[in-house]
Structure 1
Amino acid sequence: MMDFDLVIVGGGLVGSSLACALRHSGLRVGVVEAVAANAPSHPSYDERVLALSLGSRRIFGGIGLWDAMRADAEPIRQVHVSERGQFGFARLAADEEGVEALGYVTPARSIGQALEACLRDATDTVEVMRPARLVGLRQQPDGWNIEISVAGSSRLLRTALLVAADGGDSALRRRLGLAVHEQAYGYDAIITTVTPGRPRPGVAFERFTDSGPLAMLPMTGGRWSVVWTARDSDTAGLLALDDTAFLQALQQRFGHRLGRLARPGRRIAYPLRLLLAKQLTGPRLALIGNAAHTLHPVAGQGFNLGLRDVAELADLLADTRRTGQDPGGHAVLAGYRQRRRQDQANVAALTDGLARLFTNPLPTLRLGRNLGLLGLDLLPPARHALARRFMGIGGRLPRLARGLPLDGGQATHAADDSARITQTAS
């Protein structure tokens, strides 16, 4: 029987981020991951890029990983929002908010590589068990007894806290019978990259169309990542197009703000859905990341929301070592539930509302949302409030979200950003 303070089921981007955040906390952390260490790539470290918010950059800075992924991260200095064929538009700008960038477009693979390197260096406090499969669970008054199969051999674990970080189809959440609110949108996200003829470095576009948002995100090397929301009935046809026909369809959808689009990359499609766990915690159990919430990709909030889960839970757990509290006790779980529930609900409502509002064809709604975009562009207080929401820096922030390491070391330069933002807002 191996003893841990917490066992994280799921070693993807969110689960590994929590393990790395706690590597200097003095807690003994176990990670149970289904993918082998020598696998060509982790399924969550795929070809996607992630629009990391300023708050997420700070979290990775506090964990000590931002420098490892910085070279592949393209800053977003302006966001241009519009509706195809309509008059409304709005712009958010980093210089108005007093920051270097509103966010950073970063390949998931680069984030995964930084996390893997961290885990390799943290073997004194973090044990990663893979390829592993959960075989049995038994709840005890002081924790959980877990049986896993690792490369065909059975191992028994004991932990004070169990963390579900195994994605939207969480096997652990289903095994424990935790209810969710789930709704399919009937749309897919088609992901690819293109190279524009007239690049605008640092500018991201969110263009709403009759089938949903089309995002164009700047990447390093002069490329742009495409996140095209399409009706699921149209997905197969779009994937089957040759490169020339696909570029023509994309150009007609997006327009010519970046000139002529060329050199499309490999296309991948993901079904879109809304999923919210009705319970964030259970007896000595916490849900984080997509296991707790899976969102529409509009405004790129899903992974950033999961990292804020990591920051809050890591903050609470790091203090248990100093204060002698139980890592799986009521204080930690109640604190996590209280700190995270409202943010999760607000972001889910925002992304779901935007996705539905901008696909509604009613003329009165179309007029109203375009007037709303113009009003947003003309009203600085409204722009600041929306920018802070999307940057993930509103309200009370845990240490990692302020760029502060959990072990009390030196802060990253995120503290300077905080001062500038405060001055701008005032």
Structure 2
Amino acid sequence: MTAPARSAAAPVHDIAIAGAGAAGLALAVALKTELGAGVRVAAFDPTLGAARDDGRATMIAADGRRLLERAGAWPADAHPVAGLRITDSRLDDALRPTFLELGRDLPADEPFAHMVFDTDLRAALAARAEALGVTFVSRAIRSHAASTGVVTLRLDGGDETRARLLVAADGARSGVRAREKIAVSAFPYDQTALVATLAHEAPHGDVAVQHFLPGGPFAMLPLAGNRSSLVWSERRATAADMAALDDDAFLAEAAKRAGPDFGRLALAGPRGAFPLRFLLARSFVGRRVALIGDAAHVVHPLAGQGLNLGLRDVAALTRVLSAAARAGEDLGAPATLGAYESARRFEVAGFATAMDGLYRLFATNLARPLRDVGMGLVDRAPALKRRIVAAASGL
């Protein structure tokens, strides 16, 4: 495949990526896979090599799996999710009737999604990136300035380097986005996500379960064996109390919310707590800058789509940059970045707004009869269910 054309004053890198989390590494391996050894990709992150096992696992949709498989970075121990069961109940309800089931009618060889531990995903991506020749720089980008044909990056310690394009994959508090003066719509939710890996007596049948409770959505996401990844969203004050409990008391509270289907619960990994927020960048591009992942958008985890949106950013930007490289065009030109903006921002804005609306719908008990009727109608409409599954899985 043809690498980008280079002038005598060529930049050091074709694409510089700020941040070596899952989205940034996925972009690095996708670009090297599509464009070959000739494209020069570098990832800049001062936390490279740091151990970050916070117990979190991620649900990867089918289109994200395909992207990672194509790039040779799919974790070997990813666990298939056959479907999603949704209930809407009060904390003290003896029964949790199912109002909606998604994904059960998919072919056996095309699961609804897969569960992957974050540490395993980062390790697979990092190993593949190294094998493909991605350059790793364990320093932060402190400033950048675009000019004709190049963006100059100043690193920690004062050194400078250059690239044709800078990609911000440096998270919700993106320094690249802030320096580029890209405005955001952002606000905190009055919720914190409590996460842990739980072992349980009863099998999960590879089905994810999400209980919509008055305090927030409570999800049990299937892992290998009789284990599940807990993502428990609760009002901040209550979540702080839950996080302060010892393990036995924490498990007792989790069991109240999980219901009887899982049997006795036990911790099988570390516990964590993360405040939830909404963020949407007003633009996904700047001057020789593109935003992906949490640098561009942060949504409520009730649909498990945070990283999946980031992987769709990766797929779109890879397509755009690959087309530009093969045509010998400037990777950081306004037309190139405009194509990425058109491919992603409208879709992400619509999805983020829908997820915020869904969160608010389930945040009030006054709307419970209406939403339960709505979920029941969706469950009885096969064509609509297929469209919802297609949107969630990316198929």
TM-score by length of 1: 0.85
Task: Give secondary structure in 2 for the equivalent of 1:332.
Answer: helix
Q: Which amino acid aligns with 1:14?
A: A
1:31 pairs with 2:33: no
Over 3 Å counting, the alpha-carbon distance change for 1:216 and 1:185 in structure 2 is same
> Deviation of residue 259 (structure 1)?
2.2
Task: Give secondary structure in 2 for the equivalent of 1:248.
Answer: helix
| Conserved? CA contact 2:55–2:269, under 8 Å | no
Partner Cα distance (1:167, 1:90) in 2: 33
Flag structure 2 segments of 5+ consecutive residues without an equivalent.
Answer: 1-9, 91-95
> Deviation of residue 88 (structure 1)?
5.7
Partner Cα distance (1:214, 1:273) in 2: 17
1:203 pairs with 2:210: no
Aligned to 2:5: none
| Conserved? CA contact 1:84–1:254, under 8 Å | no
**Equivalent residue for 1:301, pick from 305, 308, 311:** 305
Q: Which moved more, 1:249-258 or 1:135-144?
A: 135-144
**Equivalent residue for 1:137, pick from 111, 133, 144:** 144
Task: Give secondary structure in 1 for the equivalent of 2:105.
Answer: helix
Aligned to 2:3: none
Task: Give secondary structure in 2 for the equivalent of 1:236.
Answer: helix
Aligned to 1:60: 68
Partner Cα distance (1:294, 1:208) in 2: 21
1:74 pairs with 2:79: yes
1:95 pairs with 2:100: no
Over 3 Å counting, the alpha-carbon distance change for 1:157 and 1:195 in structure 2 is same
| Conserved? CA contact 2:284–2:296, under 8 Å | yes
> Deviation of residue 335 (structure 1)?
0.7
Partner Cα distance (2:97, 2:339) in 1: 45
Q: Which moved more, 1:47-56 or 1:138-147?
A: 138-147
Aligned to 1:419: none
Q: Which moved more, 1:267-276 or 1:371-380?
A: 371-380
CA offsets 1:106-164 (integer angstroms, 9 cap, x no match): 101111111111122122xx21111x022332221222111112xx5x43211111111
Aligned to 1:107: 117
| Conserved? CA contact 1:247–1:264, under 8 Å | no
> Deviation of residue 239 (structure 1)?
1.3
Please list, as runs of the form range in 1=range in 2, the aligned pairs for 1:240-319 lying within 5 A after superposition.
Answer: 240-263=244-267, 265-319=269-323
CA offsets 1:8-59 (integer angstroms, 9 cap, x no match): 111111011111111141321121112143x3x1x4x642100000111111
Over 3 Å counting, the alpha-carbon distance change for 1:235 and 1:332 in structure 2 is same
> Deviation of residue 97 (structure 1)?
5.6
Q: Which amino acid aligns with 2:194?
A: I
Q: Which amino acid aligns with 1:142?
A: G
1:146 pairs with 2:148: no
Aligned pair count reads 378
Partner Cα distance (1:17, 1:221) in 2: 28
**Equivalent residue for 1:321, pick from 308, 325, 329:** 325
Aligned to 1:16: 25
Partner Cα distance (2:60, 2:26) in 1: 14
**Equivalent residue for 1:121, pick from 127, 131, 134:** 131
> Deviation of residue 372 (structure 1)?
1.1
**Equivalent residue for 1:239, pick from 225, 240, 243:** 243
> Deviation of residue 284 (structure 1)?
1.2
Task: Give secondary structure in 2 for the equivalent of 1:309.
Answer: helix
| Conserved? CA contact 1:105–1:217, under 8 Å | yes
Aligned to 1:215: 219
**Equivalent residue for 1:159, pick from 136, 156, 163:** 163
Over the residues paired in the alignment, what is the CA RMSD in angstroms? Answer: 1.7
Partner Cα distance (2:343, 2:219) in 1: 30
| Conserved? CA contact 1:97–1:384, under 8 Å | no
Partner Cα distance (2:85, 2:128) in 1: 35
Q: Which moved more, 1:258-267 or 1:140-149?
A: 258-267
Over 3 Å counting, the alpha-carbon distance change for 1:97 and 1:378 in structure 2 is farther
Task: Give secondary structure in 2 for the equivalent of 1:204.
Answer: strand
| Conserved? CA contact 2:143–2:179, under 8 Å | no
| Conserved? CA contact 1:206–1:299, under 8 Å | no
Task: Give secondary structure in 2 for the equivalent of 1:235.
Answer: helix
The list of structure 1 runs, each at least 4 consecutive aligned residues, that deviate by more than 6 angstroms after superposition, is none
1:47 pairs with 2:55: yes
Q: Which amino acid aligns with 2:247?
A: D
CA offsets 1:151-183 (integer angstroms, 9 cap, x no match): x5x432111111110000111111222110001
| Conserved? CA contact 2:283–2:345, under 8 Å | no
Partner Cα distance (2:373, 2:117) in 1: 35
Task: Give secondary structure in 1 for the equivalent of 2:261.
Answer: coil
Partner Cα distance (2:269, 2:244) in 1: 14
Over 3 Å counting, the alpha-carbon distance change for 1:158 and 1:102 in structure 2 is same
